[in-house]
């Protein structure tokens, strides 16, 4: 995919070029990888809008197959988009959690020069790790859901330093509108995070927030999202943390979809998301497809993302396996530190 | 507005006719009022999808005007739709909380026979009370929001018996899809509640759940939505209720939008929504535009909707003024009764 002048991606490309100097050698990221992902999010949105019956997930066991269908639809749409982007060398997803060559490479028996000159052997080669449709349990009532994508330098995301090798993340939000958060942290450049408004007609996507930062204290309103709250019944420290937040008059916002829950904090400038893992509950959040991308976003906006089991940063440890899972405490630094103190102290 | 065969509203009209016998004399409700409201919800959805900048509400004081703009846009879209429906005699809304003749009547200097023969003086005359866009505070992060409509027999909703005069309610949900819940309780007929899937292209709206009922105990999963939770810091009974629900391992789902919060319960078959009013917090939910319509929906699906100040049913008391406000506890009967016992006992 190449972005011509006047294309739907002109504003995105213009904004990206303002963030990345020409000598950063990221032309495929700017002109192909990120526009391809926005294109994929627009296509998933369009499919969801008309998926009234496929979206009857989670309502009854009889619809188990439907749940699979809508997840697989999103997976296929994103895979088809990736296949148009030669700079993406490798991809894996929550639906197919094995790193494989991107279809564009599989389909090319003989190495060919791609449209924008980034063949698999070019300087830019990326690995994409994605969760095609996060929040299946809240699709049936028509709540906002999302797509999560991490973009890594090189031909694998496994056993790499997440802090330097995961150079971008994209969160797609399917709600009354279709939006995307893009975070960039390219070694040697300042981190950046901005929001794209996706045009339903596909003609002009807009930059709707050019620089997203969490607010500094004092906070006008403090928001909290206590995930996996059922585990507080068995974990006194989590129960006491939630009680403290209530007594401190924090405002509850928790929809149960990781993407909308975090985007709420990004847009409001404040938020604490807590998803601890306790004895009898199994960790649900996947490190490669969920935790690493959202941790990058949080760090790019000045926040923190921490493993509640250890208190260490999510991005301090390499991902050794596509199916690794864990908990998450993220949001404004001060809130995250106080929450970790409550959970581990 | 008249529904021809093969129209986008054919499935809706067919389903409504299966619920309402021909001699119920509700032809304008079936063929004009409800299709008009579905049409209005489709139009609001379409506007929201492209309102990336108008939707920057709640993010900063500087955007105060924008917040007004998007609420007023939805108001205008719905008013324009109502003006095409002569059976709607009177309308009022949260944005313009005074009962006035519907524009179709204002615009008609001399009485004329309407397309479907329901002139203002016909047997069917309805009053519509609506909240055009409920959930402004969560539009900015792109969370699902809604429209709430109550439909009353006659030419006013004020000082009427809500239990018998409010004969229908519509909840529009703007999320990844656009959907609507329609509840009907026409004296002499069984109550009914169903869900419509709105086609983004406007060509065929579908019935996606033909009969919605809350589940009977025992419940597989118990959901709770504690609204106005900050007030629990000052209200021990509310704090203890929330603690009990956590310890009983209920699952938290609370997005802070009344429509999506209640539709979650409708779709899952279980839910408890609690919005008490305590000493220092002011009641926010308006009886005419929010409480009465959602109470009708809840009663039509076998649930309860109760005023937490008195323990009485929301629909037991007439609305005397367009701006009356109150709290709400609603959802499955057993859960509502136990919650009221905790709050008042």
Residues of A in contact with B145 (CB under 8 A): 176
Percent of chain B with pLDDT over 70: 88
Nearest to B247 among A138, A233, A255 (CB): A233
CB-CB contact of B229 with A251 (8 Å): yes
pLDDT of A113 higher than 60: no
Question: Do the chains contact at A255 and B251, CB–CB below 8 Å?
Answer: no
Separation between Cα atoms, residue B167 and residue B152, nearest integer Å: 6
Contacts (Cβ under 8 Å, ≥6 apart) of B79: B91, B93, B103
- Tokens representing residue A6 in the block: 């006047």
pLDDT tens digits, one per residue of B225-234 = 999 999 999 9
Nearest residue of A to residue B59 by CA position?
A268
Beta carbons within 10 angstroms of residue A341's beta carbon: 11
Question: Do the chains contact at A175 and B173, CB–CB below 8 Å?
Answer: no
Q: Comparing A78 with B284, which gets the higher pLDDT?
A: A78
Q: What's the Cα-to-Cα distance from A221 to each of B230, B242, B323, rounded to whole Å?
A: 11, 21, 27
CB contact residues (below 8 A), chain A span 210-239, against chain B: 226, 229-230, 232-233, 239
pLDDT of A114 higher than 70: no
CA-based nearest residue to A204, from A5, A1, A45 = A5
Distance from the A313 Cα atom to the nearest Cα atom in chain B, whole angstroms: 25
Question: Do the chains contact at B138 and A51, CB–CB below 8 Å?
Answer: no
Question: Do the chains contact at A49 and B233, CB–CB below 8 Å?
Answer: no
SS (HEC) of chain B: CCCCCCCCCHHHHHHHHHHCCHHHCCHHHHHHHHHHHHHHHHHHHHHHHCCCCCCCCCCCHHHHHHHHHHHHHHHHHHHHHHCCCCCEEEEEECCCCCCEECHHHHCCCCCCCCCCCCCCCCCCCEEEEEEEEECHHHCCCCCCEEEEEEEEECCCCCCCCHHHHEEEEEEEEECCCEEEEEEECCCCCCCEEEEEEECCCCCCCEEEECCCCCCCCCCCCCEEEECCHHHHHCCHHHHHHHHHHHHCCCEECECCCHHHHHHHHHHHCCCEEEECCCCCCCCCEEHHHHHHHHHHHHHHCCCEEECCCCCCEHHHCCCCCCCCEECEEEECHHHHHHHHHHHHC
Question: Do the chains contact at A49 and B176, CB–CB below 8 Å?
Answer: yes
Question: Do the chains contact at B143 and A140, CB–CB below 8 Å?
Answer: no
Separation between Cα atoms, residue A175 and residue A284, nearest integer Å: 23
State the average pLDDT over residues B251-265: 97
Q: Comparing A61 with B2, which gets the higher pLDDT?
A: B2
Residues of B in contact with A139 (CB under 8 A): 176
pLDDT at A4 (0 to 100): 56
Percent of chain A with pLDDT over 90: 78
Question: Do the chains contact at B246 and A266, CB–CB below 8 Å?
Answer: no
Nearest residue of B to residue A138 by CA position?
B264
Question: Do the chains contact at A229 and B251, CB–CB below 8 Å?
Answer: yes
Q: Find tokens 């917090």 and name the residue.
A: B281
pLDDT of B210 higher than 60: yes
Nearest residue of B to residue A54 by CA position?
B208
Mean of the per-residue pLDDT values of chain A: 89
pLDDT at A122 (0 to 100): 58
pLDDT tens digits, one per residue of A246-293 = 999 999 999 999 999 999 999 999 999 999 988 677 888 999 999 999
Is A311 near chain B, with CB under 8 Å? no
pLDDT tens digits, one per residue of B132-151 = 999 988 999 999 999 999 99
Beta carbons within 10 angstroms of residue A42's beta carbon: 22
CB contact residues (below 8 A), chain A span 135-194, against chain B: 138-145, 173-179
pLDDT at A130 (0 to 100): 98
Which domains, ranges and CATH numbers included, belong to chain A?
10-209 (3.30.540.10), 223-344 (3.40.190.80)
Nearest to B143 among A144, A197, A248 (CB): A144
Nearest to B48 among A145, A174, A176 (CB): A176
Nearest residue of B to residue A231 by CA position?
B249
At A200, the pLDDT band (50, 70, 90 cuts) reads confident
At B11, the pLDDT band (50, 70, 90 cuts) reads very high
pLDDT of A144 higher than 70: yes
Question: Do the chains contact at B59 and A268, CB–CB below 8 Å?
Answer: yes
pLDDT at B5 (0 to 100): 58
CB contact residues (below 8 A), chain A span 234-263, against chain B: 239, 242-243, 246-256, 260, 263
- Mean pLDDT is lowest, of A258-267, B53-62, B268-277, for B53-62
Query: What is the interface size between A and B, counted as CB pairs within 8 Å?
Result: 175
pLDDT tens digits, one per residue of B316-326 = 999 999 999 99
Beta carbons within 10 angstroms of residue A173's beta carbon: 29
CB-CB contact of B27 with B86 (8 Å): no
Residues linked to residue A254 through DSSP beta bridges, in sequence order? B254
Residues of B in contact with A52 (CB under 8 A): 177, 179, 197, 206, 208
Distance from the A116 Cα atom to the nearest Cα atom in chain B, whole angstroms: 31
Nearest residue of A to residue B55 by CA position?
A177
Separation between Cα atoms, residue A16 and residue A119, nearest integer Å: 22
pLDDT of A110 higher than 80: no
Nearest to B255 among A50, A229, A253 (CB): A253
pLDDT of B29 higher than 70: yes
- Tokens representing residue A291 in the block: 């935790």
pLDDT at B106 (0 to 100): 52
Mean of the per-residue pLDDT values of chain B: 89
CB contact residues (below 8 A), chain A span 266-285, against chain B: 266-269
When scoring B70, B74, B139, B143 by the number of chain A Cβ atoms within 10 A, the one with the most, hence best to mutate, is: B143
pLDDT of B122 higher than 70: no
CB contact residues (below 8 A), chain A span 183-202, against chain B: 197, 199-201
With a threshold of 0.95, tell me whether the complex ipTM lies above it.
no
In degrees and rounded to multiples of 5, residue A166 shows phi and psi of -85, 105
pLDDT tens digits, one per residue of B31-49 = 999 999 999 999 999 999 9
Distance from the A312 Cα atom to the nearest Cα atom in chain B, whole angstroms: 27
State the average pLDDT over residues A110-129: 61
State the average pLDDT over residues B327-343: 98
pLDDT at B185 (0 to 100): 98
pLDDT of B19 higher than 90: yes
pLDDT of A18 higher than 60: yes
pLDDT at A112 (0 to 100): 38
CA A182 from chain centre, in angstroms, equals 9
In degrees and rounded to multiples of 5, residue B228 shows phi and psi of 50, 40
Contacts (Cβ under 8 Å, ≥6 apart) of B104: B82, B83, B84, B85, B86, B88, B114
Between CA B332 and CA B335, with CA B334 as vertex, the angle to 5 degrees is 65
Distance from the B259 Cα atom to the nearest Cα atom in chain A, whole angstroms: 10
CB contact residues (below 8 A), chain B span 30-69, against chain A: 45, 48-53, 55-56, 58-59
Distance from the A140 Cα atom to the nearest Cα atom in chain B, whole angstroms: 7
pLDDT at B68 (0 to 100): 54
pLDDT at B105 (0 to 100): 57
Distance from the A159 Cα atom to the nearest Cα atom in chain B, whole angstroms: 34
Mutual orientation of helices B333-344 and B236-247 as an angle, nearest 10°? Answer: 140
Question: Do the chains contact at A246 and B232, CB–CB below 8 Å?
Answer: yes
pLDDT at A93 (0 to 100): 96
Distance from the A282 Cα atom to the nearest Cα atom in chain B, whole angstroms: 15
Separation between Cα atoms, residue A34 and residue A330, nearest integer Å: 25
Residues linked to residue A193 through DSSP beta bridges, in sequence order? A183
- Mean pLDDT is lowest, of A46-55, A189-198, B268-277, B300-309, for A46-55
Question: Do the chains contact at A254 and B251, CB–CB below 8 Å?
Answer: no
pLDDT at A5 (0 to 100): 58
């Amino acid at each position: 995919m190449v972005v011509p002048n006047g294309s739907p991606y002109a504003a995105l490309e213009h904004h990206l070029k303002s963030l990345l100097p020409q000598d950063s050698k990221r032309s495929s990221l700017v002109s192909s990888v990120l526009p391809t992902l926005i294109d994929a999010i627009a296509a998933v949105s369009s499919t969801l809008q008309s998926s009234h019956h496929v979206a009857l997930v989670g309502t009854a066991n009889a619809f188990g197959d439907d749940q699979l269908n809508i997840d697989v639809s999103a997976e296929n749409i994103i895979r088809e988009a990736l296949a148009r982007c030669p700079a993406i060398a490798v991809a894996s997803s929550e639906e197919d959690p094995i790193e494989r060559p991107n279809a564009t490479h599989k389909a090319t028996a003989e190495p060919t020069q791609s449209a924008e000159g980034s063949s698999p052997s070019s300087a830019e080669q990326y690995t994409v790790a994605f969760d095609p449709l996060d929040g299946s349990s809240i699709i049936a009532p028509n709540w906002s859901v999302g797509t999560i994508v991490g973009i890594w330098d090189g031909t694998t995301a496994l056993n790499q330093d997440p802090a330097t090798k995961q150079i971008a993340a994209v969160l797609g939000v399917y709600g009354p509108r279709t939006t995307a958060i893009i975070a960039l942290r390219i070694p040697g450049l300042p981190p950046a995070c901005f929001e794209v408004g996706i045009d339903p007609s596909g003609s002009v996507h807009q930059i709707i927030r050019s620089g997203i930062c969490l607010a500094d204290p004092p906070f006008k309103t403090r928001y909290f999202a206590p995930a996996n709250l059922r585990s507080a019944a068995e974990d006194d420290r989590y129960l006491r943390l939630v009680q403290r937040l209530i007594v401190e008059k924090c405002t509850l916002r928790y929809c149960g979809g990781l993407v909308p829950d975090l985007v709420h904090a990004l847009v409001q400038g404040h938020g604490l998301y807590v998803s601890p893992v306790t004895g009898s509950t199994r960790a649900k959040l996947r490190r490669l497809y969920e935790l690493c991308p959202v941790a990058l976003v949080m760090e790019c906006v000045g926040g923190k993302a921490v493993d509640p089991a250890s208190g260490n940063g999510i991005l301090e440890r390499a991902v050794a396996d596509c199916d690794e899972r864990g908990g998450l405490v993220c949001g404004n630094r001060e809130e995250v530190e106080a929450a970790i103190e409550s959970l581990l102290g």
